[in-house]
Structure formats: structure tokens, C-alpha cells
């Protein structure tokens, strides 16, 4: 079997690593890929949004299965393009990927089908949004409606702060067209948990839980990022929480999309807040999380190809999804200055230290190969993941492993998984 993976980040590296373990797979391509993915796949210089070129390539190479890792192409309709060309592809169609593509859509869907979430209002006008903010309690949450690389959320403590936030999102276009509409949402407190799931249109099978660390700096300070590290499983995601979510959130979302004529096949990522009034949905994503994939996939026992094919064929109910009885922690090594401004092009040393080290992984997010060697090529550069029999052991192993890597401008948070000790 020939497989094409679309994307270039740490998530796609984790997917390529997992796909490479399948005995069904003979050849992997990745477009556009990165220096780490090259170990498992032949990287092709086609952008993730170049649908026509990707379709032509898939036909030319007789690709049996395409796996789309990124949100932009999914929301843009890559799955529709591949299906129209008679190609087998994994990822929701455009009319289903709107679950992530529009926060206003997803909030309205949850309200309509009584899926627990924070109270909110949607706005098309900055003036109306500011008027509304004069009447609300604080803190308050502002969310750009569209895709913003995981950064389009502002938590505002005062009216003045919120007013400036509305201006930066809707008028100054800090997040581009993602800010054409705005969701204003009540501020929820509690533990955040990420639960990824496979969906075949009817059946949903959830993966093991994880927890991301979105803020750039220790102590959850600084700006929102794409994610600075994760751990799995979350000790706060209890059997009781799982039972509630299965009953009122997971299947309810799949059924709601089906009722809306938006059959969902692919990954649904549930971002949850465990509030004192029970679990509520913070957000949906239409693909594997990054860096959640880097701690969830190493713990997954199943052949990922079997699971993906079951999703496409509509028989996910035949799959028994299994995960190892252990833990994993991922620490993101970023370029200092991320997520605002940072330099690229520094040589990365120490990657060879991960060779043949069982339970230790380095997933490339922003890297490229040059004559000088592999160099930094993004804000988030690498995800260093380690497993352990407990979360504490996995955390210790991960922080030991980050010492094996060195590059100029290297930056990381030092408190990934610190919440584990409070469980």
C-alpha cells in the first residue's frame, strides 16, 4: 500500500512514524514534510493547500490512501477534491470540517443540540461586540471565528482590555480573515483535557486523554501558542467524566452533525473544560492535535491503517481501540521569541541521541535539511516525547531527553506536566 500524508509539522511526523509501523504499508510520501519525516517518507515539494497538484501526484503515484493532518486543507475542502477524483482519503469533508473552521457554527450547533458548552454570543460588527462587552462580567473570552493556528483566543480581565481585543481581532485583523466574525464567551474555570477520537459517520471511538499547555511561558503565562507540551493520560479525566462525555458530548456531536446533513468521517478533537458544573466543550478540532498526537499515538496499540480504513468504510464498530497502560510526556523545543518573532536557520545538534532509544522520540515540527545539516525552520522546532510507567516517570524522562538536543535560540517551558503532582 502507498500512503500520502499531507502536512509538515510534529503531528504529521507522529502520523508518519505510526503509519510506518503498519505491515500493510510499502511506501510513504509526505507533502511537503520536514527533515524528520524524511526518515519514514519521501517528502514532496507540494504545499498542503495545492489541491490540484496533490490530486495529480496521488494519481501519478497510484496512492492508495491519503491522510490529511492539517486543519487549513480540511476546512478548504481537500477531502472533497480527492473524493471527486476517485481517490481514497481520510479527513472530514468541507461541510463537516466547518466544526473547526467556524467557532460560531460549532457554538450554534452545541446550543441547538444541548451539548454542554460555555454561554456565548456571535458578532459580525466590532461596534456591536464592544457594546455587548459593556454589559458582561469579567474575565471574558474573545475568539476569532476562523482558523488562527491555535492562537486566536484572548482572555480579557477588564472592559478596556476586551475593547482593545475586539479592535485587534476585528479591525486590525491580527489573525487575518479569521477575525471577520467574533465569538464572545463566558470564562470557564477548571482543568482542560483533550480527547481525540476516530469517527466513521455514525460510530465514535475515543482515544486516550491528554492535556496540552497552550501558553508560551511557565505558569501558564504569556501568549497563546500552538502548544508547548502535553502529557497523556490526564489523571483528571476519570471514569465518571468519561461516562458523562460519552453520553452528552461525544456521540451527541456525531449525531448532531449527521442530523445537519454533515456526515463526519475523520478525527474529532474535543477540547474540554472540567468545570465544577461538569465537563463542557471548549472547542472542536477536525484533526489530530499538535502536540497531542505526539503523546497519544506512541501509546496506541492498534495498526493505525486498520482504524483509518474502518472510518472510511463505515465499520469503526468492529475496531477495539487499545492503548498501552503507561504514560507519555512531550516537551516542545521552540525558537526563543515564539509565537511573535524568532530567528531560523540554526543547526540542530544531538538528534542522533534518539536512535534505538526505546520509549524516547523526537518529532520534528519546524526543521529543514541544508548543506550544514538539519536546521531550525519554525517557531516550534521539535517535540521531545518520552514514555514511562507513570506520568511522573514519563515527565522525568522527557526532561532528561531535552538535554540531548541543542540549538542556538532553544526555548522550552520547564513545567510541562507539573499539574500531574496535584492529581
pLDDT at residue 125, as a whole number:
94
In this model, does residue 372 exceed pLDDT 80?
yes
Q: Residue ranges of the domains in the chain?
A: 2-94, 125-180, 191-318, 327-422
The domain 327-422 is classified under which CATH number: 3.30.530.20, 3.40.640.10, 3.40.50.261, 3.90.600.10?
A: 3.90.600.10
pLDDT at residue 32, as a whole number:
97
pLDDT interval class at 312 (50, 70, 90): very high
Topology agreement, domain 2-94 and domain 125-180? no
Q: Which fold has domain 2-94?
A: Rossmann fold (3.40.50)
Q: Is 270 left (phi over 0), alpha (psi -120 to 50) or beta?
A: beta
DSSP per residue, 34-70: -TTGGGTSEE----TT-HHHHHHHHHHTT-SEEEE--
pLDDT at residue 406, as a whole number:
97
Mean pLDDT of 127-144: 94
pLDDT in tens, 97-132: 999 999 999 999 999 999 999 999 999 999 999 999
In this model, does residue 399 exceed pLDDT 70?
yes
Would you state the cell numbers that stand for residue 414, as one nine-digit string?
520547564
pLDDT in tens, 316-350: 999 999 999 999 999 999 999 999 999 999 999 99
pLDDT interval class at 76 (50, 70, 90): very high
pLDDT at residue 21, as a whole number:
98
In this model, does residue 30 exceed pLDDT 70?
yes
Alpha carbon distance 250, 331 (integer Å): 28
Would you state the cell numbers that stand for residue 413, as one nine-digit string?
517551558
Best CA proximity match to 141, nearest among 194, 103, 101: 103
In this model, does residue 423 exceed pLDDT 70?
no
CATH 3.30.1490.20 corresponds to the domain 125-180: yes
pLDDT at residue 148, as a whole number:
80
Do 165 and 184 form a contact (C-beta atoms < 8 A)? Answer: no
pLDDT at residue 193, as a whole number:
97
pLDDT in tens, 217-251: 999 999 889 999 999 999 999 999 999 999 999 99
Best CA proximity match to 115, nearest among 280, 265, 246, 262: 280
The domain 191-318 is classified under which CATH number: 3.30.470.20, 3.30.70.100, 3.40.309.10, 3.10.20.340?
A: 3.30.470.20
> What are the Cα distances from residue 217, in Å, to 66, 332, 333?
36, 12, 12
Backbone angles phi, psi at 196, to 5 degrees: -90, 150
Mean pLDDT for the chain overall = 96
CA distance between the termini of the chain: 44
Name the residue with higher pLDDT: 66 or 147: 66
pLDDT interval class at 147 (50, 70, 90): confident
pLDDT at residue 142, as a whole number:
95
User: What share of the chain in percent tops pLDDT 70?
Assistant: 100
Amino acid at each position: 500500500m502507498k500512503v500520502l500524508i499531507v502536512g509538515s509539522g510534529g503531528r504529521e511526523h507522529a502520523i508518519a512514524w505510526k503509519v510506518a509501523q503498519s505491515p500493510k504499508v510499502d511506501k510513504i510520501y509526505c507533502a511537503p514534510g520536514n527533515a524528520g519525516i524524511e526518515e519514514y517518507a519521501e517528502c514532496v515539494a507540494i504545499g498542503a493547500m495545492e489541491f490540484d497538484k496533490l490530486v495529480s501526484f496521488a494519481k501519478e503515484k497510484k496512492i492508495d490512501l491519503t491522510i490529511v493532518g492539517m486543519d487549513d486543507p480540511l476546512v478548504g475542502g481537500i477531502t472533497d477534491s480527492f473524493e471527486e477524483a476517485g481517490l481514497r482519503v481520510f479527513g472530514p469533508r468541507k461541510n463537516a470540517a466547518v466544526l473547526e473552521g467556524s467557532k460560531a457554527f460549532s457554538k450554534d450547533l452545541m446550543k441547538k443540540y444541548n451539548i454542554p458548552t460555555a454561554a456565548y454570543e456571535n458578532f459580525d460588527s466590532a461596534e456591536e461586540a464592544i457594546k455587548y462587552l459593556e454589559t458582561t462580567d469579567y474575565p471574558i473570552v474573545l475568539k476569532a471565528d476562523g482558523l488562527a493556528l491555535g492562537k486566536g483566543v484572548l482572555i480579557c480581565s477588564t472592559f478596556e482590555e476586551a475593547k482593545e481585543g475586539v479592535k485587534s481581532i476585528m479591525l486590525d485583523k491580527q489573525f487575518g480573515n479569521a477575525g471577520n466574525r467574533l465569538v464572545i464567551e463566558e470564562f470557564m474555570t477548571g482543568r482542560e483535557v483533550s480527547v481525540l477520537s476516530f469517527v466513521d459517520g455514525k460510530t465514535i471511538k475515543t482515544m486516550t486523554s491528554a492535556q496540552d499547555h497552550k501558553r508560551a511561558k511557565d505558569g501558564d503565562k504569556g501568549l497563546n501558542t500552538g502548544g508547548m507540551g502535553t502529557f497523556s493520560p490526564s489523571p483528571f479525566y476519570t471514569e465518571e467524566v468519561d461516562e458523562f462525555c460519552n453520553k452528552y458530548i461525544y456521540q451527541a456531536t456525531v449525531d448532531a452533525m449527521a442530523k445537519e446533513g454533515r456526515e463526519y468521517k475523520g478525527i474529532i478533537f474535543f477540547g474540554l473544560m472540567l468545570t465544577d458544573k461538569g465537563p463542557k466543550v471548549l472547542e472542536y478540532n477536525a484533526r489530530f492535535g499538535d502536540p497531542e498526537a505526539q503523546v497519544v499515538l506512541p501509546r496506541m496499540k492498534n495498526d493505525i491503517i486498520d482504524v483509518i480504513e474502518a472510518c472510511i468504510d463505515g465499520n469503526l464498530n468492529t475496531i477495539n481501540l487499545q492503548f498501552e497502560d503507561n504514560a507519555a510526556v512531550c516537551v516542545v523545543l521552540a525558537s526563543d521569541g515564539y509565537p511573535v518573532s524568532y530567528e531560523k536557520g540554526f543547526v540542530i545538534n544531538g538528534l542522533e541521541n534518539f536512535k534505538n532509544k526505546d520509549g524516547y522520540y523526537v518529532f520534528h515540527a519546524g526543521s529543514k535539511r541544508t548543506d550544514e545539516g538539519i536546521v531550525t525552520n519554525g517557531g516550534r522546532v521539535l517535540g521531545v516525547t518520552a514514555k514511562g510507567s507513570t506520568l511522573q516517570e514519563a515527565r522525568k524522562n522527557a526532561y532528561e531527553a531535552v538535554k540531548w538536543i541543542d540549538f542556538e535560540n532553544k526555548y522550552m517551558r520547564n513545567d510541562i506536566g507539573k499539574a500531574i503532582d496535584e492529581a
